[in-house]
Structure 1
Amino acid sequence: MTENHTTVAAPEETAHLSLELGRLLLMNGSDTARAKEAVERFAHGLGYESHLSITFEALLLTVIAENQFRTKVGSHIPATTVNMTAVESLNRIVDDTASGLLDVVTITSRLTVLEYSKPLYPWWLVAAALGLTGASLSRLFGGDWSVFATVFIASTIGTAVRQRLGRWHVHQLAIPFITALVSGIIGGVGMRLHPSNIPALCLIAPAMLLVPGVPLINGIRDAIDNNMTLSLSRLSFAVLVVVAIALGLFTATVVTGVGIPISGPTPLLPIAEDAAFSALTTIGYVFLFNVTASAAWACIICGVCCHALRTALLHLGLDIISGTVLSSLVAGLLAHIFARRFRTPPTTFAFPGVVALVPGSYAFRAFIGCLQILKAGALASSGLVAETASLILYTILLTSAIAVGLAIALSIPLPAWHRNPNAV
C-alpha cells in the first residue's frame, strides 16, 4: 500500500471509489480511453492493480489484491454533455491520489462535493448564450437579421425548456422531440409575424443545438480505439436523437404551416463575416460545457479556425467534402492540443469547432423528404426522390468527413513540449 496514506483503503472500498470516479468522468464527457486510464491510475495510487471494462450499460472493475481478484459492477450514465470544470477537478483527484497525498476520507469527501456541485453559470445565462449560438448559426446559413432575432428567441426558450425537462428526468428521446417542437413552433410563429428570406432557418437553426455532438465524437473515438460495441451503442443513440429532433421539427411545420423545403441553396459568406459569426457560435458551448473563463479562448479559436477555414477553401474552389475533412482535421488537432494543455476531454474543444459543419440541416430535410415520399407513395415525383437521396448521401458523406478529420487529428502523437506529465 502507499505509505503516505493515513487511512489504508480496503479492496472493496478501492473498487467503490474507483467506479465512482469512472462514472463521474464518463457522465461529464470524458472519452473511454482517458476514463479507463484515470481509474486504473487512481486505484494504483491506493495500492491496487485494477482493470476497468466500460460498456454502454455498466462499468466492470477488477481489483487485484495479494493474488486475489475482486470484481465489482458499477452503473454507467451515458454522457450527453461536458462539464469541463468537473473533469478538471476529477483529474486533480487522480493526480493527488497517485502522488500519495490523499486518504480515503478526503477522496470520498471530494467526490461527494463534485457529485452535487452546481454549474459555474446560472441556467438563464446558459439559455441566453445558446440563443446567441443558434442565432449565429442562422447567419452562417444565410439568414437575415429578422431570422437572427427570431432564432435567438426560439433557441433561448427551447434551451430553457430542455433544461427543465432534464431536471424533471424526462425520457432522453422525449427531451429532443419536445424541445425541437417548442422551438420550431416559436420560430414558425415568428416567421408568420415577420416573414423573412429563409423562414425554414427559424426551425432548423434552434434544432441544430440539439444534435448530440458529444456521443457522436466519443463514439468515433471509441471506434478508433477498437471499442466497437460501445462505439455502435453511442452512435446508435445519436441517430435516434436526430430522428426525434426531425420528428419534432416535422410536427412544428404542421402546426405553424412554415415548411422546410427539401432543396435550397447553401450560401457562402465573406471570410471575415464567417469568422465573426463562427466565434459567436462557440460562446454558447463555453457556458453549456461549464468551461472556465481561462479556457474559453481555446473553444473560440477552434470554432473560428474550423468553419472560417472551410469557407476560405470553398471560396478557392475546393469541394465541400474535402473542405470539411481538412477543417475537421484542423479542429481536431487544436482540440487535441488544448485537451492536453487543460487536461480535459477533446470534445470540450472539438464539438464547438465542428458544430457548424455538422450536416443537421441535410439530415432534417432528408427525413422530411422521406416522410413526403411515404405520404405520396407511388405518386412521388422523381425530383423529390432524387433530392431526398442526394440529401441522404450528403449527410453520410459530410458526417464521415468530420469523423475522418477528427480521427486523423486525435491519433497524431503530440510533441513532448505539448504534453503534461500529469495528464490523464
Structure 2
Amino acid sequence: MSEQRPADPLDTVLDAAVLLQDNGQSTSTTLLAVDRLNSGLGVRSRLIPSWASLILVGDRPRVAAVTPTSINMRRVAAAMRVIDRAEDGPLDLADVAAGLSAAATLRPSHAGVFVLACATGSGALAVIFGADDVRAVLLAAASAAVGGALRRALGRFGVGVLIQAFVAAVVAGLVGAAAVHLNLGAAAGIVALCPAMILVPGPHILNGALDLLSLRTSLGAARITFAAMVLVSIALGLVVGLHAGGQALPVTGVTAAVPLYLDVLAAAVAAASYSVYFSMPYRMIGWPVLAGMAAHGVHWWALSVVGTSLATAALLACLVVGVLLVPLSHFLRMPFAAIGFAAVVSLVPGMFVFRMLSGVMQLPGNSSAQVLTATASDGAVAVTVTAAMAIGLVVPMRLRDSLLHRSR
C-alpha cells in the first residue's frame, strides 16, 4: 500500500492565486495575497501572472491555467478572508486548503436578484444621463431586465460572454427602436444605450489599465483586448437590434445635466446594482453605495461648478473613492476590487465608446468630415476618461502597497 504524499503548501498558494485571478481580483492585490500566504505558510515563491496561465516559481516552477473573464466577488471575499489571516500568524495548511475549496464553490447572485439589478441599474443610468421622461426610464429598465434574464438562461447552457452580450444588446436595440416610434425624442437614444451600458466590462477595462500602468503590458493588453471584444459584441448587437427596428445608432449626441440630488441618488442605485452584477456579498454593498454617492457628488461639482473636462472630473471622483475605500478595504479586510469598481464603474465612458464604434462602422460607406471628427472625438474622450479613472484608483492602491511592503 503506497503512502499518501503530504500536501505541498506551494500548490495551495497557486490554487489561491488562480481563484483570485479567475474571479476578478486585481493583479497587484493577487500578488500581495501570494506574499501573505508565503509568510503564513512559511514558504517562499514568486507569482508570474499572464492572461492564460499563472506561473509560481518556488522550489520548482508550477503552472496553472486561468480564464479571467468572470467576476464573482463572493469567492474573492471568502478567499481573501482566508489569506488575510496570514498576517495574524502561522497558518494551518489544511484549514487554508479547506477555506479556498469552500470559496471556490460560492455561487453568483441569485438569478431573480440579478435580473432586478439589471433593471434598476439601467434605469439609474438613464436618470444620470438626463432622461426626463418616466417612460424612457421604465423602458430602459424593462429592456435590461429582459436582457439579464436571457444572459442567465444562455449561461446555463454554457454560452460564452460574447454571445450573451450580443443577445442582450440586440434586445436593447429593439427596445430603443421602439422608443423612437413612441416619440421620446433624444431620450430614445438613452433607452437604447443604457441597457447596453450595464454590459460594459468595467472591471476588465480598469484592471487592464491598472496592469498597463504597472508595466504588466502583456496581461494589461490581454485584458483590454478581451474588454474590446465584449464592447464590439455589444455594439454589433445594438446595431442589429436598431436596424431591425428601422433605426441607427447615433454618432453624435449630448446628455442633459441633472440636479445634484438626483445624480447622487441615481448613483447610489447604480452602485448597488453593479454590486449584484459582481456577486458581491450583500453585507458589503453599503460601502460602494456610499463611496459612489460621494464620487458622483464630486463628479457633478467638477463638471457643473468648476467646469472641468470629463477626464478631470473622473480623476477627482476616482481619487475620492480610492482615498475612502483603500484604507477601509485593508482594515476591514475586504477586497478593494469588490467595493471600488462598483462605486466608479458607472463613470466608465461606455456611451462614448459605443458612439465611436458606430462611427467606425459607418466609415466604409460615409467618410465625411463630420463622421471622422465625431468618431475621433468620442474615441479620445473614452481613452482619456478611462486612463484618468485608472490613475485615480491606482495612486491610493500604490501608496497602500508601498506602506505594506515597508512594514514587512
What residue ranges of structure 1 are gaps of 5+ in the alignment? Answer: 1-7, 64-68
Q: TM-score, normalised by structure 1?
A: 0.86
Tell me which residue corresponds to 1:396: 383
In structure 2, the residue matched to 1:157 is: 146
Contact 1:220 1:231 in 2 (8 A): yes
- Out of 103, 108, 112, the residue aligned to residue 114 of structure 1 is 103
**Code of the aligned partner of 1:172:** V
Equivalent residues of 1:27, 1:79 under 8 A apart? yes
Q: Give 1:36 shift.
A: 2.1
DSSP 3-state at the match of 1:77: coil
Residue type of the alignment partner of 1:221: L
Q: Is 1:41–2:31 an aligned residue pair?
A: no
CA-CA distance at 1:49 after TM superposition: 1.8
Instruction: Indicate whether 1:356 and 2:346 are aligned.
Output: yes
Give 1:133's aligned residue: 121
Q: Distance in 1 between matches of 2:232 and 2:284?
A: 33
The alignment partner of 1:319 has SS state of coil
* 1:160 Cα deviation from its structure 2 partner: 1.9
**CA 1:414 to 1:373, structure 2 compared with 1: closer, same or farther past 3 Å?**
closer
Structure 2, unpaired ranges of 5+:
none
In the alignment, structure 1 residue 367 sits paired with structure 2 residue 357: yes
Could you report, residue by residue, the CA deviation over 1:160-186 in whole angstroms, capped at 9, with x for unpaired residues? 222233333323322322221123323
The letter of the residue matching 2:211 is D
**CA displacement at 1:88 relative to structure 2:** 2.6
- What residue identity is the alignment partner of 2:117? A
Partner residue, 1:281: 270
Alignment pair present for 1:78 and 2:68: yes
Q: Map of 1:204-223 to 2, 5 A cutoff?
A: 204-223=193-212
Matches within 5 A, 1:219-238: 219-238=208-227
In structure 1, what is the Cα distance between the partners aligned to 2:297 and 2:213? Answer: 27
Alpha carbons 2:122, 2:195 under 8 Å: kept: yes
2:208/2:223 contact within 8 Å kept: yes
Q: Is the 8 A contact 1:154 1:184 kept in 2?
A: no
Of 180-189 and 213-222, the range deviating more from structure 2: 180-189
1:67-97 CA distance string (max 9 Å, x none): xx222211112143241x3223212322446
Q: For residue 346 of structure 2, what is the amino acid of its counterpart?
A: A
Instruction: Describe the shift of the 1:413–1:111 C-alpha distance in structure 2 as closer, same or farther (beyond 3 A).
Output: closer
Aligned partners of 1:219 and 1:230 also within 8 Å: yes
Aligned pairs for 1:23-62 (under 5 A) are 23-62=18-57
How much does 1:249 deviate?
1.0
Indicate if the aligned counterparts of 1:62 and 1:71 stay in contact, CA closer than 8 A. yes
User: What amino acid maps onto 1:135 in structure 2?
Assistant: G
Counterpart CA distance in 1 for 2:401 and 2:91 is 29
Shift of 1:229: 1.7
- Report how many aligned residue pairs link the two structures: 401
The code of the aligned residue for 1:206 comes to: P
Write 1 or 2 for the structure with the bigger share of helix.
2
- Percent pairwise identity: 26
Tell me whether 1:242 sits opposite 2:235 in the alignment: no
Describe the SS at the equivalent of 2:106. coil
Q: 1:323 to 1:44 in 2, by over 3 A?
A: closer
